[in-house]
């Protein structure tokens, strides 16, 4: 698809029969105008995506976002890449669509959550392995270096520690990796489908002291949860809309490195990159995932030093320039980079104004800024987001092309 064809497609796009056509504007930077296309290009509804995506993680976009660009710009077996993989939304959606994938993230937790959903065991294999694992119901708690009694019943905690030790003491296969992924996802949450007592939604683990206050506010104490039962239940949900045939032919590469230093990726090999980088210091990824890191034996302090958490736009831009230079090296001629940015600091900073010059400096041409507007539902209200009053109400994607 040429730039002109892409623009024509966006202008004529209607998600529904009653939808309006796309609104076109211009963004002028340093005297040059870049086209801006505004519409609802994918649904705001939370549940219109494959069940395989239902793993929580902070600051992740909907699967419909990468799907929009994957279907427009790639064919089967071409490579789709995400240098800031997060929970793996881009690469899992690409695998479901028959593309090959590369996932990279400096946080090893990202690959723990992603790889099992591409190298998927059967439900029978998961159930059999769970039956084989012997979990201790008592005795392990004393060996734990953290007081987690505010989150878990003593018996539940003993089972969690037993599973943690089991997984860490053997060479993992795809089934073990799946069980680790699901257990990591089920550690804490706001329903009885999680191992913990009621707490915040699972994309953010609160501190132990905060959880004590929540327990007091709700007049609650942790009840026993059968973790094998909950792992199997969540596995059934994740696999309810997917067959192994959808992803088993996917060639996948998993990297745990700096996004500016991906030498194992070949020159001119990637057809499409869809990504969303860390936005300044808006989200504290390490703090949010401290309990998940504990379960997986990840040193949170080491990881936090590697994640790009710049306090100033200048520092952030310097780091992102090195990433764009690397993206240019690995992208095929005429390949696309869809770089999702956000309005941070309550819309006072619009990162597209910084990102467009970075991409151009690396050698890319900027095809467009695509803004997907939407009305958020109850999840946004939990975090105090009012519709049309914050940057989180829109996806802003700068689309670059390697020329």
Same domain, 113 and 127: no
Closest-CA residue to 109 (of 183, 201, 196): 183
- Average pLDDT for 106-127: 93
Bridge-partner residues for 33, per DSSP?
28
- Average pLDDT for 247-260: 88
| Burial (Cβ within 10 Å: 0-12, 13-18, ≥19) of residue 217 | exposed
What is the rounded distance in angstroms from the CA atom of residue 359 to the CA atom of residue 349? 18
Residue 378: pLDDT band by 50, 70, 90 thresholds? very low
**Least confident segment among 137-146, 199-208, 250-259, 340-349:** 137-146
**Structural contact between residues 238 and 321, judged by C-beta atoms closer than 8 angstroms:** no
Q: Report the pLDDT value the prediction gives residue 144, as an integer from 0 to 100.
A: 65
Q: Does residue 353 sit within a domain?
A: no
Mean pLDDT of the chain: 87
Closest-CA residue to 69 (of 345, 400, 403): 400
Strand, coil or helix: 323? helix
What is the rounded distance in angstroms from the CA atom of residue 325 to the CA atom of residue 327? 5
Domain residues for the domain of 259 are 61-119+242-266+298-308+319-340
Q: Report the pLDDT value the prediction gives residue 345, as an integer from 0 to 100.
A: 58
Q: What are phi and psi for residue 265, nearest 5 degrees?
A: -90, 130
What is the rounded distance in angstroms from the CA atom of residue 178 to the CA atom of residue 192? 21
- Model confidence over 38-82: pLDDT tens digits? 999 987 655 568 899 988 776 678 899 999 999 999 999 999 999
Residue 91 has pLDDT above 50, yes or no: yes
DSSP state at residue 289:
T
For helices 174-185 and 123-132, angle between their N-to-C axes, nearest 10 degrees: 80
Residue 377 has pLDDT above 60, yes or no: no
More confident residue, 375 or 240: 240
Q: Does residue 30 sit within a domain?
A: yes
Same domain, 174 and 233: yes
Residue 140: pLDDT band by 50, 70, 90 thresholds? low
Considering its fold, how many domains does the chain have in total?
3
Give the CB-side neighbour count of residue 197, counting CA atoms within 13 A.
23
Q: Does residue 289 sit within a domain?
A: no
More confident residue, 305 or 121: 121
Q: Does residue 281 sit within a domain?
A: no
Residue 83 has pLDDT above 50, yes or no: yes
- Please, what sign has the CA dihedral across residues 213, 217, 221, 227? negative
Residue 381: pLDDT band by 50, 70, 90 thresholds? very low
What is the rounded distance in angstroms from the CA atom of residue 85 to the CA atom of residue 89? 8
Same domain, 234 and 129: yes
- Model confidence over 184-233: pLDDT tens digits? 999 999 899 999 999 987 767 788 999 999 999 999 999 999 999 999 99
Residue 373: pLDDT band by 50, 70, 90 thresholds? confident
Same domain, 33 and 70: no
What is the dihedral angle through the alpha carbons of 208, 210, 216, 218, rounded to the nearest 10 degrees?
Answer: -110
């Amino acid at each position: 698809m040429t730039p002109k064809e892409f623009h024509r497609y966006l202008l004529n796009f209607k998600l529904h029969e009653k939808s309006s056509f796309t609104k076109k504007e211009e963004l002028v930077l340093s005297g040059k105008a870049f086209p801006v296309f505004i519409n609802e290009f994918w649904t705001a509804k939370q549940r219109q995506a494959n069940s395989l995506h239902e793993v929580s993680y902070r600051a992740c976009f909907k699967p419909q976002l990468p799907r929009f660009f994957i279907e427009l710009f790639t064919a089967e077996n071409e490579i789709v890449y995400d240098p800031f993989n997060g929970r793996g939304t881009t690469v899992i959606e690409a695998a479901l669509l028959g593309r090959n994938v590369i996932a990279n993230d400096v946080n090893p937790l990202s690959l723990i959550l992603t790889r099992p959903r591409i190298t998927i065991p059967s439900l029978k294999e998961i159930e059999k392995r769970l039956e084989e694992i012997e979990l201790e119901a008592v005795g392990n708690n004393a060996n734990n270096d953290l007081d987690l009694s505010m989150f878990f019943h003593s018996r539940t905690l003993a089972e969690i520690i037993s599973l943690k030790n089991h997984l860490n003491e053997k060479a993992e296969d795809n089934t073990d990796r799946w069980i680790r992924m699901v257990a990591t996802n089920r550690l804490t949450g706001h329903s009885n489908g999680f191992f913990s007592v009621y707490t915040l939604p699972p994309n953010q683990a609160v501190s132990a002291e905060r959880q004590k206050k929540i327990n007091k506010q709700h007049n609650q104490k942790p009840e026993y949860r059968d973790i094998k039962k909950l792992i199997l239940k969540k596995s059934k949900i994740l696999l309810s809309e997917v067959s192994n045939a959808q992803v088993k032919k996917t060639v996948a590469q998993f990297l745990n490195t700096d996004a500016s230093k991906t030498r194992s990726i070949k020159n001119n090999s990637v057809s499409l990159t869809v990504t969303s980088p860390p936005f300044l210091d808006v989200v504290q990824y390490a703090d949010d995932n401290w309990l998940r890191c504990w379960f997986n034996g990840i040193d949170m302090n080491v990881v936090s030093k590697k994640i790009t958490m710049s306090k100033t736009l200048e520092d952030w831009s310097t780091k992102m320039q090195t990433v764009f230079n690397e993206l240019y090296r690995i992208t095929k001629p005429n390949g696309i980079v869809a770089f999702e940015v956000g309005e941070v600091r309550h819309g006072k900073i619009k990162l597209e104004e910084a990102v467009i010059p970075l991409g151009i400096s690396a050698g890319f041409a900027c095809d467009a800024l695509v803004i997907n507007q939407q009305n958020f539902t109850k999840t946004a209200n939990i975090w105090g987001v009012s519709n049309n009053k914050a940057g989180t109400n829109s996806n802003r994607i700068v689309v670059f092309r390697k020329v």
